[in-house]
Structure 1
Amino acid sequence: MNNALLVIDYSYDFAAPDGRLTAGDAAQEIEPAIVDRIRTAHEAGQPIFFMMDLHFEQDALHPEAELFPPHNIEGTKGRALYGKVHDIYTEIREAPHVFFIDKRRYSAFAGTPLNQLLQERNIDTVTLTGLVTDICIMHTAVDAYNNGYGIIVPASCVASFNEVAHENALEHFKNALGATVES
């Protein structure tokens, strides 16, 4: 198994107590587990992809403009990686197996070079971590499935605004996508 770690949308706006679209305590509680995954992947030389939601100020044409308050705006602190995930990224960002990629849709695959980068590295499995379980993690998992990747979702490394939706997403990963959901 050739695995890549994806750290999806672990931004200030999604994780900080005062973030513009925060998942609050649930987002902060997964931080140590994500940091451990990053450190382990880095020490193994495993590809790590930090996939970050990108919005522009007053971008009324983006489909999310009707669904959510402005968040992850280019050039704001809200778009920065949050907490210790930011710290470890700063330590390892120059490594050739570490990537930071902007994304404009829920899925980390939509409109990004992710699939090509995974294929070039002979990756067959992706481990999904970050925020939000039932939105960006879910859409990325579906695209990973549709592109033929094995999927691992450590439950300790994903969170949502809504605990019921979070649990439903974890079940969907297992039952509809054949993902391995780790505790």
Structure 2
Amino acid sequence: MTRPALIVVDMLNRYEHEDAEPLRDAVRTVLPTMSDLIACAGEGGALTVYVNDNHGDWTAGRSALAEWALDGADAALVEPIVPDSDVPFLVKARHSVFYATQLEYLLRSHDVDHLVLVGQVTEQCILYSALDAYIRHFRVTVPRDAVAHIHANLAEAALKMMALNMRADVTDAASALRTLTV
């Protein structure tokens, strides 16, 4: 039997970087939907995995990154999606959730064949993670109402690339939720 996994990408963020304002605006829009997907995925039996940038701190793990993000410019964007202690949490240093992480091993050990990607940034980490999932033969779903962007035009282009070049199912959260119900 195979199962889906919800991958939450880079949501522990202080929002204090150069292009933070447009990202915060986008996160405010998608956060309620993303939070609902996270809650429903666990209830539906899907594996949920958080993969987060380490922001250059090679000693940081789940707790340190959560505290760091909550102490940033907009804790309200972090509080609803802080990962529970029983949810797998992996640290990454580059754009893709797969690059130099244990994610593929974790997914294969749980018989996962289908990933639903939520989080930020659509035109960066979501795009590169979708590509890496595709070349590893995972099916990919990206709910457009549960990913945040910095540049709307680039996000639209990225979603189109994921759909056309990576055969990703670019859909809405309601459809993605059906994917996450085991």
TM-score by length of 1: 0.79
Q: What is the distance in 2 between the residues matched to 1:99 and 1:89?
A: 12
Is residue 2:47 matched to residue 1:47?
A: yes
TM-aligned CA distance change 1:155 to 1:111, over 3 Å: same
Look up the match of 2:101.
112
- Structure 1 Cα separation of the partners of residues 71 and 12 of structure 2: 5
Instruction: Give the letter for the 2:30 counterpart.
Output: I
Contact 1:12 1:80 in 2 (8 A): no
Q: Pick the structure with more helix per residue.
A: 2
Shift of 1:34: 0.6
List aligned pairs for 1:1-183, cutoff 5 A.
2-14=3-15, 19-20=16-17, 21-22=19-20, 23-56=23-56, 77-78=68-69, 83=76, 86-89=79-82, 92-94=84-86, 98-183=87-172
* Residues 21-56 of structure 1: per-residue CA shift (max 9 Å, x gap): 521211221100110110111112311111110133
Conservation of the 8 A alpha-carbon contact between 1:8 and 1:137? yes
CA contact under 8 A between 2:92 and 2:101: conserved in structure 1? yes
1:168 partner letter: A
Amino acid at match of 2:85: R
Structure 1 residues 105, 12: CA separation in 2 closer, same or farther (over 3 Å shift)?
Answer: closer
How big is the shift at 1:12? 3.0
1:145–1:79: structure 2 CA closer, same or farther, 3 Å change rule?
farther
Aligned to 1:3, the other structure's residue is in SS state strand
Regions of 4+ moved over 4 Å: 73-76, 79-82
RMSD: 2.5
| Alignment partners' CA distance in 2, 1:168 and 1:119 | 30
Aligned residues: 161
* Deviation (angstroms), 1:87: 3.8
Structure 2, gaps ≥5 residues long = 59-63, 173-182
Q: 1:123 to 1:165 in 2, by over 3 A?
A: same
What do residues 58-104 of structure 1 show as CA deviations (whole Å, max 9, x unaligned)?
x9xxxxxxxxxxxxx969723889546544545x432xxx2111001
CA deviations over 1:104-140 (Å, ceiling 9, x no partner): 1100000100000000011000000000001000110
Aligned match of 1:69: none
Larger RCO, structure (CA 8 Å, separation 6 or more)? 2
Secondary structure of the residue aligned to 2:14 is helix
Structure 1 letter corresponding to 2:13: Y
Query: What stretches of structure 1 of length at least 5 have no aligned partner?
Result: 60-72
